[in-house]
Structure 1
Amino acid sequence: MNASTLDSSLTSSIMNNATMLNNSTIINDSYIITNPLYLEVGNSLYRFNVNSSTCYGKDFDDIFEGFTGQFRDSNCYTYIIQFIIVLLMYVNVGRGKYWLLLFIASLTGVCGAFIEHSTIAVICQNKYKNTTFRTLPTLLLNELFWIPSEYSIPLLNLIKMQAFSKEKLARFMRFSILLLGIPFICFRFLIGYKRMTSGYLLDTDIRAYHGGAFGIMAIADILCTFSILYLVKKSSLDAKNNNIMNHAKHSSYTILIVVDVVSLFLSILEIITNIGPYKDDISNAYVIPFHCVKNSFALILAADALIFKYGVSVEKSSSGNNSYSNNNNNNNNMNMNMNMNMNKSNGSGSIMMGKNKSKSEGSSNSQKKSYNNYRLINNYSPSPNDNLPSLNSNSMGRSKYNNNNNSNHVANISPYNYQTYEPDNMYSGKNINNNYYSKHNY
């Protein structure tokens, strides 16, 4: 339909309502002519307005065309690809609370995106161009998925912080983050209720509610960041020479700063572009990049955790090789020193002969002969209850290592839960860093 086919009365009605159109707003001619109420905020037909981010420019003939057409929207595609990648990571390398929460965040995100864009595919069909929807319950129901999807980010940072300490500060921060979740949930349900009763996704009020919700997220993230920085600084002396711990810290710093900056700017821009004296001077378009990055937080954190796992694997492999080499050197030194001490006690000067003999006859014979020399020199006769001393540092180290395995000495590097050993203590059973050890798997 175009303007040339309309009668004069309808044309006059359109012209009378043309003053409602902003200079920057362009609306399909057929929509304006059919129903001028597309320009009225609060009416369900406002969904066809460009500022509603709902049905503008979407001419769907059926629901299937509408849903597949929504894949070009990054808010739809991002959640789908994020879920696929995080699922693959979780199945193959993910363990513990941290990875489980990442998986839940990606799962609820894709469910929320599916419900929201399916609703759009229905209400934006051509046959409903002039239909007013009084309520859209799916848009309120959808908040049950958006809440865990978005607030999982502060909870993930909380798990990171708890990996550094179990002190009073960690308990206080846990209480604070959970308490901040209450106003966040309230803002999200206000968004859902407004969407349900209005029949579209965005207007000035809904954007302001978004600003409040993102502000709560920013506060929670910043609190976690400062807590982690404080705890890391407190434990820096214990782990300053550990490459794995340094990698964990730098990784956490980078991701925490990105999350904090995005959440903070997203909240500020959502508020000032819709409320206050500058709302007409600053475009809502500045919000879009930050909002798109926010939608990918779960994928970013999952990639960071995977990179950390790779770094730990490299360090572990390098530590194993270095420890094996050092252990062999220590074994030779131990045998030589013991032979020297025994020969000195016996008044014999055949130090080199003892050393060469130990080397040539193999580890088993060396151990036996060294023990026999020790017994003869010191006039020692073992009783049936005595255990023969082991002179092989490999067997000593591995025995200690195996015993300590039963004592759960393996360090769980929270929040990623990867087993790692410090290079100089591969066989000593010593934890990498007591501050990173946790009784729980994160």
Structure 2
Amino acid sequence: MEQKTKRGRFPGVGWLSAHLSRKMLLALVALAVLSWAVMCGCFLAYLGRYAGNTYYQVLSGAQEDARQAATFLEGCDGDFRALERYLSERDLYGMVRGSGEELLYARMPEESQAGLVAASAVQVELTGGRRVELLLWVRAMQRNELSRSLQREALIGLAAFNVCVFLVVAVIMYLVLVAPIVRLRKTMRCYSEKGERPERSERQDEVGKLQNAFADLAGVLECKEKAEHQLIASISHDIKTPLTSVLGYSERLHSADLPPEKQRQYLDRVYEKALRIKSVVDEFDDYLDVGLRDTAPMRLMTAEELCRRLREEYEDELSDAGVTFQVDCQCPQEQVICNWEHMRRFLGNLIGNSFQHAETGHLELRLQCRKEEEELVLRFQDNGRGVAPALLQQIFEPLYTSDPGRKVSGLGLSICKSIIRAHGGSISAENVPAGGLLIRASLPCVKV
């Protein structure tokens, strides 16, 4: 609830944080806008300033040429022939006007004045106080030279612009993608080397989901590790107790001079404890054997055939034991894909669990098969004392048993859960109001 409230303060943040691709798309759009702004605001302005500086440089050079030409004209005291040679040597053009605006000298190109840059007029004072005005032109920069100059400056500007764009892209990629992956790698390394539990991420994109998946995986591995430790401890306890008795009776048989009746009694007890050890080992074998659908042969079976075979498998044995066993199939034509040996073991474990924990004078068992939505539901019910409501979820855990003496290993219902899950279904337990425990297992139906 707190996270939802926090996201609600900023509309659109949830959409942005949900996928890494959306962040990258937004980053690319922002980068394109930034590039356009830099291009217009900086690069084009840079080229404009360079062109203006070039033009003003030409004008400054023309003004300097005009001052030098005026100095030369003063030095030669108005000798226009000398001025002609001076301008011709420097590829300059100009004219000299008198005080009355009369034209005293002119050197102009044969073509029009296009391509010339005018300089400011310069006043020249000759001998005798005579004053004239010198107006000078210089040739503008050639097109090829100007083009090469602009290309060179554009290349420098584009190189600097690309470096800036590259740095921005590198920073964005590092912040959005590389840094989270580096942190996730450090988290994985800390977990593998030091056993530090990874924390869940608040990010909603792929990197956050990957870290949360890793955190969930670490939690699952820890749970499995605890379950393995519990499994080893339970195996040790369930086998050690009868094995200790076997060793004790065997030692007495070897060391003591016992009468035949006592020897027979000890041998019977040794055989009984050996059978107990065998039953524990067999039950663990069953636990490890189920749950792998790919390795178990599956075939199509109707609900009618499944119920019939289950009834034939256990009906006579339960009848001889004085147990009432009813099978009710309400959807005979529905089909499921299942493994018969596993389903037989599933019902056998449920029956064995009822035998051990029902604690009733006359045991009554009922198996009902019906269809609910797109699932085939098997409802197994006894008339025993049921299970405490707080323990209904624990009875399917491996090695859980309510027997304080651990005469049973506590794997029966866990095997049932593994079988149903291997068939793609689910299983649950609930107490019947009239008394007894109801096990509900659902299997996916095959659509015809």
What TM bracket, shorter-length normalisation?
Answer: under 0.3
Q: TM-score, normalised by structure 1?
A: 0.22
More helix by share: 1
Question: Which protein is bigger by CA-based radius of gyration?
Answer: 2
More strand by share: 2
Q: TM-score, normalised by structure 2?
A: 0.22
